[in-house]
A and B are shown apart, each in its own frame.
Chain A
Amino acid sequence: MSGFTDHPDQDFGVRIHDALGDAELRESFHGAMTFLRDKRRAQFPDADALETLRDSGAAIRDRALAQLPDLLEQLEDRCRHNGIQVHWAETADDANRIITGLIRAVNGQRIVKGKSMATEEIGLNTALEDAGFTCLESDMGEYIVQQAHETPSHIIMPAIHRNKASIARQFAEQIPDTPYTEDVDELIGTGRRVLRRAFAEADVGISGVNFAIAETGTLCLVENEGNGRMSTTVPDTHIAVMGIEKVIEKLADLPDLMRLLPRSATGQAITTYVNMISGPRREDECDGPRQVHLVLIDNGRSRIYADRQLRATLRCIRCGACMNHCPVYERLGGHAYGTVYPGPIGQVVMPQLFGLDHAGKLTQACSLNGACGEVCPVRIPLPDLIRRLRHEGVSADPASPVRGHGRQRRVSEALIWRAWQWIHTRPAVYRLVTRAATRARRLLPPLPRAWTRHRAPLEPAERSFQEWVRHHKKDHRP
């Protein structure tokens, strides 16, 4: 069973084991990831053009982050000017309190939500339930996942772990008057019927934000199903929720980011819907929400911001390409991570949000193969950051900027590396060790079973290379 936890390290091994043992799941993810990778590749036929675009994407995001406090002020100012009410939330709890308060203030009864990872991050659905509200997910994937009491397994495609047959069963069981069918169009039609009704009746719509433009006070939201448009235009009250890092400087920054986001995410040239929200209904307009609120969430981002290298984490535009290209994610699927953000970006964000004592182990599930960093549209050096977090996890330095630093340090491992250093900084000792390894191979300590369970034992050569070099040099002496 899947669920997000604020202590993903706990039982990570068990979840890995279960995921690897689930052939159907691996097949689903392998198929879906291959499909998405191929589609992305087809969208970027010109490698040089792609690299130039990635430079631009990284520069735009870097420039925004460099002036983050100022841009946020400007955004607040422009939004207010446009009639959007702005709220600041330092923590997830603060955000949930603000949002429930806003709903109570308008006496909201029926709430619909467009797809938003920020609301997943703060656990909004649970908070709303606790406050006595029900909130219907209106993105098809999110709807399926919510109905099954699951959590998303991918940040772009929440139900990617599910196959047709299981969704068909679920709909037949849970939606009245729905016959069992595996016809995808019919399934989508069924879901759509339910959702249309919900949209028509909703009085509060909640959405995420992909980019917020400081210059104009515009909220940009991309999506494919129209649920974002419905959630933000039909109900009388619209509440947009975003992490503070999503702000960009100006409208002119948007085109390059839009050239990158859909193509990197789903391999689409552009999403079906691009919503540019710049305020509530004006007096001469006959539709649109009467109130628009923007909830800006920090939730640990300021801490990430403080470190020069780790700040790159905040460039993320949540496209999901890093997980689509990650060989570990492909084999585990999203749920094994136990986190809102899975895959490489999750391995970087989560330990920083929850602390290395709770999520440091996530950083170990990486072979540092570099596939994620190679595709990231805003050039986040994900492998470097994962390695850096490994370092902070075992670092005794009290000045470490990451919460829970040093808590992954095990005396046994630290001793191994100490010994390793002692040997490898003493070439004479090193030669003795390699001599022992090559001459008296049977005297070697046995390899960890972790290696030999899947592989034949290692076989050192009979003579080391360095021994050969010494003879070779003698032969070549004039």
Chain B
Amino acid sequence: MNAPAIHRVYLFGTCLIDVFHPRAGMAAVRLLEREGIEVVFPEEQTCCGQPPYNSGYDDEARAVARQVVRRFNEPIPVIVPSGSCAGMLRHHYPSLLADGPLAEAAQDLAARTYELHEFLNRVLQVTWQDHGDPVKIVMHTSCSARREMGVSEDGLALLKQLKGVDVCEPENAEACCGFGGTFAVKMSDISAAMATDKCSAIRATEADQLLSSDCGCLLNIDGMLRKQGANLPAEHLAEFLWKRTGGDTP
């Protein structure tokens, strides 16, 4: 079964990538363009609305959700380089906007939303050559990528194409890293206890580098690893994939 060729996609950049990991966004653009796809990046985008939504402030989240649904209205895929933001668009916008004039549009957007690595692996079915030195990496899959989006295999499948990359997961890979957005601040001690265990499991792998496709987890885990003085650089999966497959530093 051949899907109709895709020539254009939207990129939803996410606010965390915008401010903290712009290289992940650049890599996402490059990875898609290299497949011959035109990447449309609407400038009116800001955030998906998760922070207020998860805190129970639905009106505030809805205002932003409406803006996203209105702006990403062409019938082309919406690519999101983050499991939790993709989950917000795919699974929560439809219920958040169910009672308003955008109900149908939200359903439509949800059906066109893909997490970046899901899109690369399942829809575009990319095949890559590895261009880097042997390296051992540890992959942290976010809870939203794993459970809400069900795309934990996609990131790993892409990594496994790379001959020089030895991929492992930490013990208790499916355990939450403790980020949870405002949870990390509101329940900081519980969050820290979870993050501490995650960091120990990650360090125990003795990998050279940590990868994740969610910036929230990266900020949390990397922040703690740096505080611990661990020598374990953290990077967004998209950036790593782009560099390993022949892309210059974006």
A455-478 interface (Cβ within 8 A of B) = 455-461, 463-470, 472-473
Interchain CB contact under 8 A, B180 and A369: yes
Assuming the contacts A374-B147, A391-B56, A456-B223, asked whether A464 and B19 have C-beta atoms less than 8 A apart, the reply is yes
Q: At the interface, yes or no: B195 with Cβ under 8 Å from chain A? A: yes
Residues of A with C-beta under 8 A to B20: 458-461
**Residue from B67, B188, B226 within 8 A of A450 (CB atoms):** B188
Interchain CB contact under 8 A, A466 and B18: yes
Number of residues in B with C-beta < 8 Å to the partner? 65
Interchain CB contact under 8 A, A364 and B19: no
Q: At the interface, yes or no: A52 with Cβ under 8 Å from chain B? A: no
Chain B nearest CB: distance from A411 CB in Å? 13
Chain B nearest CB: distance from A453 CB in Å? 7
Residues of A with C-beta under 8 A to B194: 327-328, 331, 367
Interchain CB contact under 8 A, A469 and B56: no
Most central of B51, B187, B226 by chain A CB within 10 Å: B187
For B152-189 the 0/1 string (1 means CB < 8 A from A) is 00000000000000000000001110111101111111
> What is the interface of chain A mostly: helix, strand, loop, or mixed?
helix
Interchain CB contact under 8 A, A468 and B22: yes
**Residue from A365, A437, A472 within 8 A of B19 (CB atoms):** A437
Q: At the interface, yes or no: A209 with Cβ under 8 Å from chain B? A: no
**Residue from B22, B46, B60, B219 within 8 A of A417 (CB atoms):** B60
Most central of A371, A392, A434, A469 by chain B CB within 10 Å: A469
Chain B nearest CB: distance from A442 CB in Å? 15
Assuming the contacts A394-B56, A424-B46, asked whether A327 and B176 have C-beta atoms less than 8 A apart, the reply is yes
Q: At the interface, yes or no: B190 with Cβ under 8 Å from chain A? A: yes
Residues of B with C-beta under 8 A to A20: 189-190, 193
Assuming the contacts A393-B56, A461-B19, asked whether A469 and B185 have C-beta atoms less than 8 A apart, the reply is no
Interchain CB contact under 8 A, A364 and B192: no
| Residues of A bordering B, CB below 8 Å | 16-17, 20, 327-328, 331-332, 364-371, 373-374, 387, 389-395, 408, 413-414, 417-418, 420-421, 423-425, 427, 430, 434, 437-438, 448, 450-451, 453-461, 463-470, 472-473
**Residue from A332, A387, A454 within 8 A of B54 (CB atoms):** A387
Assuming the contacts A413-B55, A451-B188, asked whether A421 and B176 have C-beta atoms less than 8 A apart, the reply is no
Assuming the contacts A453-B192, A461-B21, A466-B18, asked whether A367 and B13 have C-beta atoms less than 8 A apart, the reply is no
Interchain CB contact under 8 A, A369 and B143: yes
Interchain CB contact under 8 A, A455 and B19: no
Interchain CB contact under 8 A, B22 and A464: yes
B215-237 interface (Cβ within 8 A of A) = 219-220, 222-224, 226-227
Residues of A with C-beta under 8 A to B103: none
Interchain CB contact under 8 A, B43 and A395: no
User: What 10 pairs between A and B have smallest CB-CB spacing?
Assistant: A367-B180, A455-B223, A390-B56, A369-B176, A450-B188, A465-B22, A456-B226, A391-B56, A465-B25, A369-B143
Residues of A with C-beta under 8 A to B184: 450-451
Q: At the interface, yes or no: B76 with Cβ under 8 Å from chain A? A: no
Residues of A with C-beta under 8 A to B222: 456
Closest B residue to A390 by beta carbon equals B56
**Residue from B26, B63, B178 within 8 A of A367 (CB atoms):** B178
Assuming the contacts A370-B148, A418-B60, A463-B22, asked whether A427 and B43 have C-beta atoms less than 8 A apart, the reply is yes
Interchain CB contact under 8 A, B180 and A420: no
A365–B184 CA distance with the chains assembled, in angstroms? 10
A473–B39 CA distance with the chains assembled, in angstroms? 10
Interchain CB contact under 8 A, B26 and A465: yes
Residues of B with C-beta under 8 A to A450: 184-186, 188
Chain B nearest CB: distance from A184 CB in Å? 27
Assuming the contacts A16-B190, A365-B187, A369-B147, asked whether A420 and B60 have C-beta atoms less than 8 A apart, the reply is yes
A448–B189 CA distance with the chains assembled, in angstroms? 13
